[in-house]
Structures are given as C-alpha cells and as structure tokens.
Amino acid sequence: MGPDPKDIAAAASALRDGKLVAFATETVYGLGANACDGQAVARIYEAKGRPSFNPLIVHLPSAEEAIRLGRFNSDALKLADSFWPGPLTIVVERADDCPVSELASAGLSSLAIRVPGRESARELLRLAGCPVAAPSANISGQISPTTAQHVMAGLGDRIWGVVDGGRCEVGLESTIVSCLGDTPVILRPGGVSREVIEEALGRPVLLQTGSTNDPISPGQLASHYAPNAAVRLNAKEARPGEAYLAFGKREPEADIIRNLSPSKDLREAAANLFAMLHTLDMLGADSIAVAPIPDEGLGVAINDRLARAAAPRD
Ligand code: AMP
Ligand code: MG
C-alpha cells in the first residue's frame, strides 16, 4: 500500500515552500528540495552535513518534463525511453533555459536527471510542480536509508517530514550514465546493469573505474567546477585589477563586486556561490579575491569548493 494521498499533497506543498522532504523511491529514500530554489538546495547539504558540494540528482515526474531540462543526444533519448521511469540517472548538458539552481549541480554545466519508478514519488513530483534535487536521505558518511524509520533515525529533527512508502524494492542507488561525449560512460553502477544498457543502445558503453579523474575521455568527466579566473582566498581587500567576492556588509574598493550574503547568512552564500563565480568569470575578471568565510556549518563546504577553485590547475 502506498502513502496516503493527503500526505503526498502536504509534502508537495512543503517542497514548494522550500522545505526538506524525504520520500520513498524504488532505489533508496531521497532527501528532496525544490531544485530551482538555491536556499532550499543549500538546506540539503546542511542537513546531511556534507563537507563538500557535490552535484545532486534532479528528479522529475515524467520523461517529457525531464527532457526539457537538458540537451539529450540520441543515446540519452534512447536511455530515457528504455529505462524511465526507473533506477537510471542520465547526465546531460543543461538546456539554455534550465531553471535548476547552480548549487544543485555544484556549478557544473551538466545535470544529472532521473524519473523515479515509484508511482508515489512521481505523484509527489507532479504535485510539487518543480524539479526536485534529492541525494540519499542519510547523514553524510552513513548508509543510504531504505525505510522511513532509517530516515527519521538519522535526519528526523532536520527535515519537514518523510513520505513513508515502506521498504525500497531495489535498495541500491540508481545507475548513473553520462551522455556528454560520443560514447556513454557509466559513472556509477546501480539498479540497471551495464549489459541491459548496452542492449538498449545496441553498442558498448564505457565503465568509469577508479578515481573520477581517470581520463576516459578528456574534458568529459570534469568532477568539479573551477572558474577560469584565479582565486585568492581570505582576502580582506581587492588588489588592483581583482574582482571581489564579499561576505558581510563590508565591501572594499574593487571594480567588480558581488556579495555572497550581506547579512552573513551561509545558506544564502551557498545558494549564490557558483552563480556569482560564473558571473565574475563572464565579466572577464582575471583574478577573484574572496572574503574570509567562517569554517562552520555550510561554510565548511563553501570553503572546500573555494579551496579547489584556488588550487593550481593540472
Ligand atoms: P547521491 O547524491 O548520493 O545521489 O549521488 C549523486 C551522484 O551523482 C554522485 O556520485 C555525483 O557525483 C553524481 N552526479 C550528479 N550530477 C552529476 C553531473 N552533472 N556529472 C557527473 N556526475 C554527477
Ligand atoms: Mg548517498
């Protein structure tokens, strides 16, 4: 028996309001937030206590709606047609008008998209009326939950609630396939096997092994976003020619300034981080000086990403 329709409707309305809602899918329980609302997405990282922003899977109620968010090549379309709804996640380039917050894809130009198999999950997504970003509903580093009781034990006091759909039948994460290059690459094995994928596509696919930096196809699998501009951290002032990324009311002299959060709200800063780095890049900054960000709560993940952006390039 599925969840009560009244509970699904209440959960959908909470999602629309920017709250965190855990819900059953056929793979594992997801921790959902409105993917178009950066601050709602920031709450996911906050609740999970993730030390870094990694890109999240965005969930849609139908293939038709999912396909609007990205640029689906013929392989991606075949996969969507063969496996959706179901435990397969497809990575494609974002569509030009994709409304999903950049925080949900951790600044990447690609997006991981899935249409879950569980009817109650799709009903929730339909009623919510927005793409829903949802990693597994567990505290970072703990195992993925396959019952509502698991979710409540870990995250109960940090979320609006959970749509209880009983035990997840697959119990394994979705298979993730990247369709960014000429040959599809399985980034993570999961609920759909390589053989079944190859049969649907009528040709072999690659399987990513080892570290995410393995150059299966150069440039295809960039594991994180880095701005073109150089990044200088813990900067109280901007040097001549530098753009400045502020945090808090104090803004030093600089030609180009963006402010992550004038009120020093880390959730707001997280929601703005990638979009503002992109903007400063687009405006042609050679170098971006970044204000000190407190290393607590979401600040840990913000600083992790900034440190990667500031690291020397390979
Ligand atoms: P989880 O948050 O546990 O559901 O895991 C999501 C997985 O999807 C992680 O392994 C991410 O690295 C992967 N992922 C999400 N978005 C992308 C993307 N745009 N490109 C490559 N991998 C992605
Ligand atoms: Mg997980």
What are 176-198's pLDDT values in tens digits? 999 999 999 999 999 899 999 99
* pLDDT attached to residue 224: 78
Cβ within 8 Å of residue 48, ≥6 positions away:
31, 135, 138, 139, 140, 155
Residue 219 lies in a domain: no
3-state helix, strand, coil in the chain (%, to 5): 30, 20, 50
* Mutate which of 54, 108, 175, 217 for ligand 1 pocket (most atoms within 8 A of beta carbon): 54
Q: Residue whose CA is closest, atom 1 of ligand 1?
A: 135
Give the residue from 174, 220, 221, 182 showing the smallest Cα distance to 201: 182
Residue 78 lies in a domain: yes
Q: Domain holding 99: CATH number?
A: 3.90.870.10
Amino acid (1-letter code) at residue 115: V
* Mutate which of 69, 91, 98, 217 for ligand 1 pocket (most atoms within 8 A of beta carbon): 91
Residue 177 lies in a domain: yes
> What number of H helices and E strands is found in the chain?
9, 15
Binding pocket residue ranges, ligand 1, CB within 6 Å: 54-57, 91, 105, 108, 110-112, 135-136, 176, 178, 187-188
State both tokens at 259: 């402010």
Structural domain span for residue 300: 230-310
- Residues 122, 269, single domain; the answer is no
State both tokens at 258: 């963006």
Listed residues 207, 240, 261: the one ending a domain: 207
- Residues 58, 190, single domain; the answer is yes
pLDDT > 90: percent of the chain: 91
pLDDT in tens, 124-147: 999 999 999 999 999 999 999 999
Q: Residue whose CA is closest, atom 13 of ligand 1?
A: 55
Mean pLDDT of the chain: 94
Residue 222 lies in a domain: no
- Residues 198, 49, single domain; the answer is yes
Amino acid (1-letter code) at residue 236: K
| Dist CA 64 CA 170 (whole Å) | 24
- Residues 161, 203, single domain; the answer is yes
Q: What is the pTM of this model?
A: 0.92
Which residue has 């180009």 as its token pair? 256
Amino acid (1-letter code) at residue 158: R
Q: Which ligand is nearest to the CA of 69?
A: 1
| Dist CA 127 CA 11 (whole Å) | 9
Identify whether the C-beta of residue 107 lies closer than 8 Å to the C-beta of residue 28. no
| Dist CA 91 CA 110 (whole Å) | 7
The region of weakest confidence among 107-116, 202-211, 244-253 is 202-211
- Residues 270, 170, single domain; the answer is no
- Residues 53, 199, single domain; the answer is yes
Counting the structural domains of the chain, the total is: 2
Question: Residue 127: which H helix or E strand, with range?
Answer: helix 119-128
Cβ within 8 Å of residue 92, ≥6 positions away:
70, 71, 72, 73, 76, 110, 111, 113, 179, 180
Which residue has 């997405």 as its token pair? 41
- Residues 244, 203, single domain; the answer is no
Residue 216 lies in a domain: no
| Dist CA 99 CA 53 (whole Å) | 19
Residue 214 lies in a domain: no
pLDDT for 66 beyond 90: yes
- Residues 160, 238, single domain; the answer is no
Q: Domain holding 245: CATH number?
A: 3.40.50.11030
Listed residues 207, 241, 263: the one ending a domain: 207
| Dist CA 168 CA 67 (whole Å) | 26
- Residues 266, 179, single domain; the answer is no
Which residue has 């009560």 as its token pair? 4
- Residues 198, 236, single domain; the answer is no
Identify whether the C-beta of residue 176 lies closer than 8 Å to the C-beta of residue 190. yes
Interval 73-100 mean pLDDT: 98
Q: Which ligand is nearest to the CA of 187?
A: 1
pLDDT for 118 beyond 90: yes
Task: Name the band, by pLDDT with cuts 50, 70 and 90, for residue 314.
Answer: low
State both tokens at 18: 């920017």
| Dist CA 245 CA 39 (whole Å) | 18
Q: What are phi and psi of 258, to 5 degrees?
A: -125, 150
* pLDDT attached to residue 213: 47
Residue 63 lies in a domain: yes
- Residues 182, 270, single domain; the answer is no
Residue 225 lies in a domain: no
- Residues 12, 89, single domain; the answer is yes
Listed residues 153, 172, 207: the one ending a domain: 207
